[in-house]
A and B are shown apart, each in its own frame.
Chain A
Amino acid sequence: MPDPQKVESLLVADIGSVTTKVALVDVVNHQHRLLSLGVSATTARSPEANVLAGVCDAIRQIEARTGRQLLTADRQLITPERSTLQGVDAFVACTSAPAPLRVAIVGVSRELSITSALRAINSAHATAVATFALDESIGRWVPVTLPPSPDSDSQTPRTVLEDPMVLAAETLARASVDVIVLVGGVDGGATAALLDLTNLVAGIVAARDEGARPPVIFAGNSAARAEVAQRIGQLTALRVVDNVCPAVDCENPLPLQHELEALYDEKKIKWLPGLTDLSNWTVLPIRSSAQAFQNVIRYLARRYGLRVLGVDLGGGATTIVAVKGEQTRTLLRADVGMGHHLADLLERVPLERWLEWLPIEMTDDEAHAYWLEHALYPRALPLTRQETYLLQAAARMALATAAQDLERDAWDLIVLSGGTFASNSNHGALALLALDALQPYGVFSLAVDSFGLVPAVGMLATLNAEAAASVLEQDSLVTLGPVIALQSRNREGQLDARVRLQPANSGPINLEVQHGSLELVPILSGQKAALEVRLSGSTTLPNARRGVFQAQVEGGALGVIIDARGRPITLPGDAEKRRTKIQQWYWDVGGEVAYG
């Protein structure tokens, strides 16, 4: 590995499930800066079935734009950089292209151990495809209708009574999974039920061909480890981590989450087609984009001492990272994204809820068809204003679905990343999208990842933190501005607050903020201002003292945003009024600009 301090020029790549991005970073005026970006389709599937093809395609774009040769004629990376300005010193990459781990959970209690295990699974690149909860599978036998047997004389279906435990175990046994997670019991508690489940898992594993046996992760009562190892260890690979639920009122999902992440690296990332060739270029192992994204959000939280929420709305998955002090919570929804998952999301979330966010009149079929086609062509850009509305409505649904398990909390900074937010100059519309989907409350800043490079920068940080910080702050993140999001029980049009903004070198700006309104205050980007919010009777804002909130804020690309629509945002029931209202909000944040 090259000395990180001597690494000047780099290529950083993020191989997503839909798009591959490669950025050239080099030293300009003693600082690492982003010089060029290449974007191509990810080529993990047929006809290419080799991610290297997409990476090379993106690198060739950089070569064409910068005139700098980076690849040899036979597609080998030139490294280290030559004196003739050819090649780069290092290459790092992260990926979210592989499918998530398919996980089966076996546990004693749905409310305790399984809930904790699900929390770990929803924080890693994994999806729970089967769950066996012992406490749910005990009960009365249930009638099950069976199709007639082909060799039977009677062709009428039969109804038989079945043991719910057998039905649940059968679903578990027949699921195609990458790993089985076994949980249950608090540390030092009874082990009988857990050992019965261990036998079930061992039986299912033993019944399969040796080459087809999934590994098992045990994250239950630590007192049962030896017996679990004795029953399962000789049948398949057994990994043991700390109990996800060591006590009734205590949860510990992190060790299981880390083990699942390690397994994702081993079983999915390493097997990505073309990764072996690409690994020859990299100075660090290729990691998951979610981990790289988490690196950046934690870095921002540590460096500035802020409570930071990061949202990466990708094509194949959505990652939400919440960092407060030393606490980090990651939510990774591998079934929610702006790619092919949209079609599934349309099945799960009623169409009416998607249509609610459209400011224009459109038939259900027309909108539905656009969203289904976007799932087929997830790289397709919105070409018209109508398509922008449709795509942003879909992004609202995806983001809101991914964030539904996020505790309502106050943040200092919200970072928005992902294809929907990248390369879109309509910052007002992006801010509105985030505010509608996440509905955050309080005073915080909004920043957008303008090139969709934050995960790749997170990977760069593991090699050279200083270079990553420079690229992140100077090239990648665009601050949209501080947001004052008020909460109140007032009616539409009633006074929520009086806001006074005193910029450093100009006169004060005084506003009376009415409930239901959304306003932009024109404070220049980077300009500091003293903010004072005087709240009316029922209006609240975190950290307000005796109804007054005071802080120093700095204007962003949109100035200062005041969101007095309340939480949760209530949309008018009448369709026409609702469309008018949403259109008004688009106008209010400058998200309704005619381009092209």
Chain B
Amino acid sequence: MADAVLPALTQTRVLKFTRIRRERLLPARGIVLVTPGSRVGALDVIAKMTSAVKLRPVPVARYVRAKENTLAKYLLKQVGEDFAEREIIVSRPEWFGLLRRQYRAPGAGRLAAVQGAWLVLDLADADVELRALYRGTVINVMERQGVVIEATGALVQGVWGAGGEGYGTLRRMVEPPDGLVTEEQIDVSTRGTIVIAGAGITEGALRRAAQERVAGLITGSLAPRLRQLIIELRLPTLVTDGFGERAMSAPIFDLLSKHPGEEAIINAPTAPLNPMRPEVFIPILAGIDSGTATPPPTLFAQVGSTVRIIGGTRHRQIGTIAEIVSIPRLLESGVLARGAEVILPEGERVFVPWENLELIG
């Protein structure tokens, strides 16, 4: 019997104009500053929290040479009370009050707990502000946590990202999609822009980009040795195709090339297990030249679907599913696999296992 069920494949969304919803959440509980229906810009602060928890346990009884059970009477602050930097928190008299052993706060904060010989200080940090990032409309507010924003625009998902969030105007630095961005191309004029590279970027250019405070980097490929450097530099980066030195996929390069100088954002969390795919979003107002944006339709593997090949001699090539092959085939690698026949743009037809296909579109 023919295998009529097609497996769900991984998907990379590349959409010229779409409507998306994104959650924007604080790392811990705070205050939401917007209401449902609010229009927000990318840099608008939509929520904030006083500070992230920054605990510092201190064995203070040892410092002031007090016994655990007597420490309480030397405390000048009670649990929950605030203190300023260098303020004395503990003071123990010695030599009939002629001398005092004291402990001063290492920074401003709050006394969070006292337990035995230990004080636990919660040192205040700068307020954490959450920006909207996606220009659009707030459609849902989760009390003390964050919001859901609906936005219209172009969306490109990447395969790897790091460096967090970036906002700037798009600036294409290469002409063909296999161009490499070099150090000479990065100067003060790139400050605040999101740089678009093709087949990659040199190490010098990357370091210069961080120095010049480039807002972000979108590249088709990334040299593997630069992966860790990008994490360390915390430069918001989106890799659209993979590691190595191959050209950016034509549909992605074409899409990004259509928006020179326009504002865009990169959302590229570094954590490997973060469920969110790293992405670039270019806000476009609905109805100007693209009609009404609709949410992206779900992609299915079927004859006619656009797919990207993962691995093999046609690695990263984009083609179309021509035929579903119901009988497993033995690969050169010795693996027996089910898959599909894919037609490549040059007309070549190749068998690719389902595991090595990714829906794109």
Interface residues of A (CB under 8 A from B): 39-41, 43, 45-49, 53-54, 57, 60-61, 63-67, 99, 150, 163, 165-166, 169-170, 172-174, 195-196, 198-200, 202-204, 206-209, 212, 231, 340, 343-344, 347, 365-366, 368-369, 372-373, 376-377, 379-385, 387-388, 423-426, 429, 593-596
Which residues of B (84-120) have their CB < 8 Å from a CB of A? Answer: 112-120
Given contacts A169-B58, A207-B120, 19 further A-B contacts (CB under 8 A): A39-B7, A40-B7, A46-B276, A61-B7, A65-B1, A166-B57, A170-B57, A172-B57, A196-B59, A200-B115, A202-B116, A208-B55, A209-B29, A231-B116, A369-B223, A373-B159, A376-B160, A384-B312, A424-B335
**Given contacts A40-B8, A64-B5, A206-B120, is CB(A165)–CB(B335) below 8 Å?**
no
Contacts of A170 on B, CB cut-off 8 Å? Answer: 55-57
- Is there contact, CB below 8 Å, between B275 and A46? yes
Contacts of A60 on B, CB cut-off 8 Å? Answer: 5
Residue of B with least CB distance to A389 = B333
- Minimum CB–CB distance from A49 to chain B (whole Å) comes to 7
- Is there contact, CB below 8 Å, between B335 and A195? no
Segment with Cβ contacts to A, from B127-135, B171-179, B224-232, B260-268: B224-232
Residue of A with least CB distance to B221 = A369
Residue of A with least CB distance to B9 = A41
- Is there contact, CB below 8 Å, between B336 and A173? no
Asked if B288 lies at the interface with its beta carbon under 8 angstroms from chain A, I say: no
Residue of A with least CB distance to B4 = A64
Most B CB atoms within 10 A — which of A67, A169, A199, A202?
A199
Contacts of B347 on A, CB cut-off 8 Å? Answer: none
- Is there contact, CB below 8 Å, between A596 and B120? no
- Is there contact, CB below 8 Å, between A206 and B8? no
Contacts of A387 on B, CB cut-off 8 Å? Answer: 311-312, 333
The answer for the CA separation of A170 and B55 in the assembled complex, in Å, is 6
- Is there contact, CB below 8 Å, between A41 and B8? yes
A sample of 6 inter-chain contacts (CB < 8 A) reads A53-B8, A343-B227, A365-B223, A365-B225, A384-B312, A594-B332
- Is there contact, CB below 8 Å, between A41 and B116? no
- Is there contact, CB below 8 Å, between A207 and B113? yes
Give the size range of B's interface with the partner.
Answer: 35 or more
The answer for the CA separation of A366 and B315 in the assembled complex, in Å, is 13
Residue of A with least CB distance to B56 = A170
Mask: chain B, 184-222; 1 = CB below 8 Å from A; 0 = not: 000000000000000000000000000000000000000
- Is there contact, CB below 8 Å, between A369 and B332? no
Contacts of A196 on B, CB cut-off 8 Å? Answer: 59, 116-117
The answer for the CA separation of A53 and B273 in the assembled complex, in Å, is 19
Contacts of A208 on B, CB cut-off 8 Å? Answer: 53, 55
Contacts of B225 on A, CB cut-off 8 Å? Answer: 365, 368
Q: Which of A49, A340, A372, A384 touches B332 (beta carbons < 8 Å)? A: A384
The answer for the CA separation of A380 and B358 in the assembled complex, in Å, is 10
- Is there contact, CB below 8 Å, between B334 and A369? no
- Is there contact, CB below 8 Å, between B7 and A199? no
Contacts of B355 on A, CB cut-off 8 Å? Answer: 379-381
Contacts of B305 on A, CB cut-off 8 Å? Answer: none
Contacts of A53 on B, CB cut-off 8 Å? Answer: 8
Residue of B with least CB distance to A391 = B333
The answer for the CA separation of A170 and B54 in the assembled complex, in Å, is 8
Contacts of B337 on A, CB cut-off 8 Å? Answer: 381, 423
- Is there contact, CB below 8 Å, between A207 and B333? no
Q: Which of A365, A377, A384, A388 touches B244 (beta carbons < 8 Å)? A: A365
Contacts of A596 on B, CB cut-off 8 Å? Answer: 329-333
Contacts of B223 on A, CB cut-off 8 Å? Answer: 365, 369
Contacts of A209 on B, CB cut-off 8 Å? Answer: 29
Contacts of B244 on A, CB cut-off 8 Å? Answer: 365-366, 369, 373
The 9 closest A-B pairs by CB, nearest first: A199-B116, A426-B334, A383-B312, A207-B112, A203-B115, A173-B55, A368-B224, A369-B244, A596-B332
Asked if B122 lies at the interface with its beta carbon under 8 angstroms from chain A, I say: yes
Which residues of B (222-246) have their CB < 8 Å from a CB of A? Answer: 223-225, 227-228, 242-245
Contacts of A429 on B, CB cut-off 8 Å? Answer: 334
- Is there contact, CB below 8 Å, between B122 and A340? no
- Is there contact, CB below 8 Å, between B227 and A385? no
Residue of A with least CB distance to B332 = A596
**Given contacts A60-B5, A366-B244, A369-B244, is CB(A199)–CB(B115) below 8 Å?**
yes
**Given contacts A61-B7, A166-B56, A381-B337, is CB(A373)–CB(B356) below 8 Å?**
no
Residue of B with least CB distance to A207 = B112
**Given contacts A166-B56, A380-B356, A425-B336, is CB(A200)–CB(B224) below 8 Å?**
no
- Minimum CB–CB distance from B122 to chain A (whole Å) comes to 6
**Given contacts A200-B115, A204-B57, A381-B311, is CB(A347)–CB(B228) below 8 Å?**
yes
Q: Which of B4, B10, B242 touches A373 (beta carbons < 8 Å)? A: B242
Contacts of B334 on A, CB cut-off 8 Å? Answer: 388, 424-426, 429, 593, 595
Mask: chain B, 331-348; 1 = CB below 8 Å from A; 0 = not: 111111100000000000
Most A CB atoms within 10 A — which of B112, B159, B275, B334?
B334
- Is there contact, CB below 8 Å, between B58 and A199? no
Asked if B3 lies at the interface with its beta carbon under 8 angstroms from chain A, I say: yes
Contacts of A48 on B, CB cut-off 8 Å? Answer: 8
- Minimum CB–CB distance from B121 to chain A (whole Å) comes to 9
- Is there contact, CB below 8 Å, between B7 and A41? yes
